[in-house]
Structure 1
Amino acid sequence: MKFGKIAVNDAEGSLLAHSLQNGRLSFRKGRSLSRADIEVLKAAGIETVVAARLEAGDISEDEAANRIGRLLAGTNVTANAAFTGRVNLTAAVTGLIIYDRFAIEQVNLTDEAVTIATAPPFDFVVPNQIIATIKIIPYGLSETMLADCLLIAEQAKAKISIASFTEKKVGLAQTTLPGGKESILKKTSDVMISRVNGLSSCVLFDERIPHTQHDVAKMVRAASTRCVDILLIAGASAITDRRDVIPAGIVDAGGTVIHCGMPVDPGNLLLLGKFDDMDIIGLPGCARSPKFNGIDLVLRRLAADLPVTSGDIMAMGVGGLLKEIPNRPSPRSSDINTLPSRPRIAGLVLAAGQSRRMGSINKLLADIDGQPMVSHSTRIVTESEASPVVAVTGHQADNVAKALEPYDLTIVHNPHYAEGISGSLQRGLAALPKDVDGVIICLGDMPKVASTVINKLIAAFNPVEQRAICIPTWHGKRGNPVLLASRFFDEIHEISGDVGARGLLGAYPELIYEVEIESDAILTDIDTPQALENIRSCW
Structure 2
Amino acid sequence: MKLIRTEDAVGQVICHDMTQIIVGVTKDARFRKGHIITEEDVPVLLSMGKEHVYALSLEAGMVHEDDAVKTLVNACRNDHMRESPVKEGKVELKATRSGVLEIDTERLFRINSLGEVMIATQANHTVVKPGDKLAGMRIIPLAISQTQLDMVASIAGTKDPILSIHPFKVKDCTILVTGNEVQKGLIEDTFSKVVEDKLAAFGVSVNAVIKTGDDQAAITDAIKKAKAGGSSLIVCTGGMSVDPDDRTPAAIKASGARLVSYGAPVLPGAMFLVSYLDDTPVLGLPGCVMYAKRTILDLLLPRLLAGIVLQASDIARLGNGGLCMDCPVCHFPNCSFGKGGY
TM-score (normalizing by structure 2): 0.80
Secondary structure of 1:195's aligned partner: helix
The aligned residue for residue 285 of structure 2 is 283
The aligned residue for residue 247 of structure 1 is 249
The aligned residue for residue 351 of structure 1 is none
Letter paired with 1:81:
P
Distance 1:221 1:155 in 2: 41
1:30-78 C-alpha deviation (Å, 9 max, x unpaired):
35454334423437xxx98776444454333222223421342123222
Secondary structure of 2:178's aligned partner: strand
Letter paired with 2:152:
C
Does 2:153 match 1:150? yes
Distance 1:261 1:22 in 2: 64
Does 2:321 match 1:322? no
The aligned residue for residue 181 of structure 1 is 187
Superposed displacement of residue 154, structure 1 = 2.0
Query: In the superposition, relative to structure 1, how do residues 251 and 152 fare at CA in structure 2: closer, same or farther (>3 Å)?
Result: closer
Query: In the superposition, relative to structure 1, how do residues 241 and 126 fare at CA in structure 2: closer, same or farther (>3 Å)?
Result: farther
Q: Please point out which of 193, 204, 228 is paired with 1:225.
A: 228
Equivalent runs, 1:349-428 vs 2, <5 Å: none
- Preserved CA contact (<8 Å) 1:172 1:205: yes
Q: Please point out which of 26, 50, 70 is paired with 1:66.
A: 70
Distance 2:54 2:213 in 1: 77
The aligned residue for residue 14 of structure 2 is 15
Query: In the superposition, relative to structure 1, how do residues 176 and 60 fare at CA in structure 2: closer, same or farther (>3 Å)?
Result: same
Distance 1:290 1:79 in 2: 39
Listed as ranges, the gaps of 5+ residues in structure 1 are 331-337, 339-539
Q: Please point out which of 302, 305, 313 is paired with 2:304.
A: 302
The aligned residue for residue 136 of structure 1 is 139
Identity over aligned pairs, percent = 25
Distance 1:306 1:26 in 2: 47
Superposed displacement of residue 81, structure 1 = 2.4
Listed as ranges, the gaps of 5+ residues in structure 2 are none
- Preserved CA contact (<8 Å) 2:4 2:55: no
Q: What is the RMSD computed on CA atoms of the aligned residues?
A: 3.2
Secondary structure of 1:210's aligned partner: coil
Superposed displacement of residue 305, structure 1 = 1.5
Secondary structure of 2:110's aligned partner: helix
The aligned residue for residue 101 of structure 1 is 105
- Preserved CA contact (<8 Å) 1:256 1:274: yes
- Preserved CA contact (<8 Å) 2:170 2:307: no
Query: In the superposition, relative to structure 1, how do residues 40 and 16 fare at CA in structure 2: closer, same or farther (>3 Å)?
Result: farther
The aligned residue for residue 46 of structure 2 is 39
Secondary structure of 1:35's aligned partner: helix
Distance 1:42 1:252 in 2: 83
Letter paired with 1:308:
L
The aligned residue for residue 80 of structure 1 is 84
Superposed displacement of residue 116, structure 1 = 0.5
- Preserved CA contact (<8 Å) 1:89 1:130: yes
Equivalent runs, 1:434-513 vs 2, <5 Å: none
Higher relative contact order (CA 8 A, sep 6+): 2
Distance 1:192 1:59 in 2: 53
Structure number with larger C-alpha Rg: 1
Distance 2:243 2:5 in 1: 79
Does 2:199 match 1:196? yes
Secondary structure of 2:307's aligned partner: coil
Equivalent runs, 1:249-268 vs 2, <5 Å: 249-268=251-270
Letter paired with 1:275:
L
Distance 1:238 1:180 in 2: 20
- Preserved CA contact (<8 Å) 2:4 2:54: no
- Preserved CA contact (<8 Å) 1:8 1:41: no
Query: In the superposition, relative to structure 1, how do residues 227 and 26 fare at CA in structure 2: closer, same or farther (>3 Å)?
Result: closer
- Preserved CA contact (<8 Å) 1:270 1:283: yes
Does 2:119 match 1:116? yes
- Preserved CA contact (<8 Å) 1:9 1:38: no
Query: In the superposition, relative to structure 1, how do residues 148 and 301 fare at CA in structure 2: closer, same or farther (>3 Å)?
Result: same
Superposed displacement of residue 164, structure 1 = 1.0
Superposed displacement of residue 144, structure 1 = 3.2
Query: In the superposition, relative to structure 1, how do residues 50 and 266 fare at CA in structure 2: closer, same or farther (>3 Å)?
Result: farther
TM-score (normalizing by structure 1): 0.53
Letter paired with 1:100:
D
Secondary structure of 1:305's aligned partner: coil
- Preserved CA contact (<8 Å) 1:240 1:269: no
1:115-163 C-alpha deviation (Å, 9 max, x unpaired):
0111122111111211111111222323333233223222575531111
- Preserved CA contact (<8 Å) 1:90 1:128: yes
Query: In the superposition, relative to structure 1, how do residues 56 and 243 fare at CA in structure 2: closer, same or farther (>3 Å)?
Result: farther
Superposed displacement of residue 272, structure 1 = 1.5
- Preserved CA contact (<8 Å) 2:93 2:134: yes
Superposed displacement of residue 327, structure 1 = 0.7
Secondary structure of 1:106's aligned partner: helix
- Preserved CA contact (<8 Å) 1:266 1:323: no
Structure number with higher helix proportion? 1
- Preserved CA contact (<8 Å) 2:18 2:29: yes
Superposed displacement of residue 232, structure 1 = 0.5
1:364-398 C-alpha deviation (Å, 9 max, x unpaired):
xxxxxxxxxxxxxxxxxxxxxxxxxxxxxxxxxxx
Distance 1:128 1:283 in 2: 33
1:186-232 C-alpha deviation (Å, 9 max, x unpaired):
3x333312222333432111122212323322322221222222211
Query: In the superposition, relative to structure 1, how do residues 312 and 16 fare at CA in structure 2: closer, same or farther (>3 Å)?
Result: same
- Preserved CA contact (<8 Å) 2:214 2:245: no
Distance 2:104 2:21 in 1: 48
Letter paired with 1:42:
G
Superposed displacement of residue 294, structure 1 = 0.9
Distance 1:242 1:302 in 2: 29
- Preserved CA contact (<8 Å) 1:242 1:260: no
